[in-house]
Amino acid sequence: MKKVIVVTSSPRKNGNSEILAQKFAEGARTAGNDVQFVAVRDLELKFCVGCMYCQSHDKCVLTDGMNALYESFQNADVLAFATPVYYYAVCGQLKTFLDRLNPLYPRDNKFKDVYLLATAAENEESAMDGAAKDIQGWIDCFEGVRLRGVLRGVGVTEKGEINGTAFPEKAFAMGKNV
């Protein structure tokens, strides 16, 4: 059994990228894994202030929902990030969340595998290249961590439109195979 954390950064509850996150989590649970689901919009997330307090303490100086998450992230085996892609990059909510994971940098983290679940109105998979690069840049800060899989849910604009595609099934299969 693996400890899996699935993060949705969609500002829309049950938006397309969140549907993929839910399906990934469902697949991981079906395979017998322990799954924690985090919705960034529920954290009252503040921006990193660059004070570096977190590098010599076990928490962030800011008081929002992040301090309660660091230990879980440190001890997770698998991380999955879901994002809508706006302007060819991860959404601002996910970028801010990744910045706020800075307290993990000096820790002995267990996670080695990271997944990206991305959706966009664009029809070309290359529209996700920037988002994949954003996640890879975060991963590169942690030794031995790899981008294990990317699901590129293209061609979806309206909330819930992803349900009429094969992408939710692919997200489920990806989660089941963590």
Task: Judge whether 146 and 138 are in contact, CB under 8 Å.
Answer: no
Spatial separation of the C-alpha atoms in residues 39 and 41, rounded to whole Å: 5
pTM above 0.95, yes or no: yes
Structural domain that includes position 99: 3-176
Could you say which residues of the chain have pLDDT below 70?
A: none
Domain CATH code at residue 36: 3.40.50.360
Task: Give the number of C-alpha atoms closer than 13 A to the C-alpha of residue 11, restricted to the C-beta side.
Answer: 9
- The confidence score (pLDDT) of residue 58 equals 87
- The confidence score (pLDDT) of residue 61 equals 96
Strands 113-119 and 89-90: unpaired
Structure tokens at 5: 């954390």
Around Cβ 156, how many Cβ atoms within 10 Å?
24
What are the tens digits of pLDDT across the range 8-52? Answer: 999 999 999 999 999 999 999 999 999 999 999 999 999 999 999
Domain count within the chain: 1
Residue with tokens 């894994």: 33
